[in-house]
Amino acid sequence: MALSLDRYHGAGNAFLVASADLSVPWSTFAVENCEREGVDGVLVLDARDGDPPRVEMALYQPDGGTAEMCGNGARCVAAWTADRLGLDAGTEILIETPAGVRPAIVGEDEAEIGMGRIRFDPESVPLAREEPLIAEEIEGYEVTAVNTGVPHAVVFVEDVNAVDLETMAPPIRHGDVFPEGANVTLAAGRGSEFDQRTFERGVEGETLACGTGAVAVLAAAQRLGLSDETRATVSPPGGDLVVTVDEGGEATLRGPVAFDGRVECPVPGAGTAVE
């Protein structure tokens, strides 16, 4: 059996999108299809029309695990839901994620999502300690830990491209201080803008963009006194993302999103093709 699934991407973050009414072993499906299709995860969605429309989101990662939140993935969810329900541009959509309900608005070739309140406290990150982790040395790098829906270990450097991310990130990602692991995000400031690279937990490698990581960059920069802006452009390799983190710690993420065609994906242990 094979599934014909939509493929969406947000600033280079690519996802297969499926309806939750399909009976599929999604963890195994993600393991077998993410690398083959060159995507960063499988979004399994249950969209419901209403006032406002709502959609339940589950994200299965290439290692077969799940993630509580994904900023670029959620923006793809919003675009898919608007397409599937025939919603007008500017309609608010509520996305139900394991990290909480997130409001989203789809525009012309872009989407914006509310990312909720960022957290530095040890219980929320989480950390295996009782104090926040702010610019402390781990594996030779100054790390700041923040939860923007998922945990991030943010490291500010002079040049993000001068660091061998695939080598430096895993020891931090698996560090004892992170009992549930962490994404590792590099950032370099350019005035009110930042360059970004992220090694994603669950993908176990670098992705072209990471929305929760982009939010983590501005939040950490504010916490460290590296920026007094509430709005910044954060640029991972896949494109520019616009992040806001207000004085109360509430964040939004805006950036490009696009339908990228349909793909045929085999279902583990099955035989007949379905749509």
- What tokens does 135 get? 């610019």
Give the CA dihedral 39, 70, 76, 218, nearest 10 degrees.
Answer: -110
Phi/psi region, residue 149 (left: phi>0; alpha: psi -120 to 50; beta: rest), is left
Cis peptide before 151 (omega within 30 of 0): no
Q: Which member of 34, 76, 210, 265 is catalytic? A: 210
Beta bridge partners of 274: 3
Cis peptide before 179 (omega within 30 of 0): no
Closest C-alpha among 201, 184, 100 to residue 139: 184
Backbone angles phi, psi at 178, to 5 degrees: -110, 90
DSSP 267: P
User: What does the alpha-carbon distance between residue 63 and residue 60 come to, in Å, rounded to a whole number?
Assistant: 8
Q: Which member of 34, 70, 76, 265 is catalytic? A: 70
Annotation says 210 is catalytic? yes
DSSP states of 113-178 as a string?
EEEEE-B-STTTTT-SSSS---SEEETTEEEEEEESSSEEEEEE-S-GGGS-HHHHHHHHHT-TT-
One-letter amino acid at 232 equals A
Cα dist from 128 to 33, 88, 272, whole Å: 34, 46, 47
Catalytic residues: 70, 210
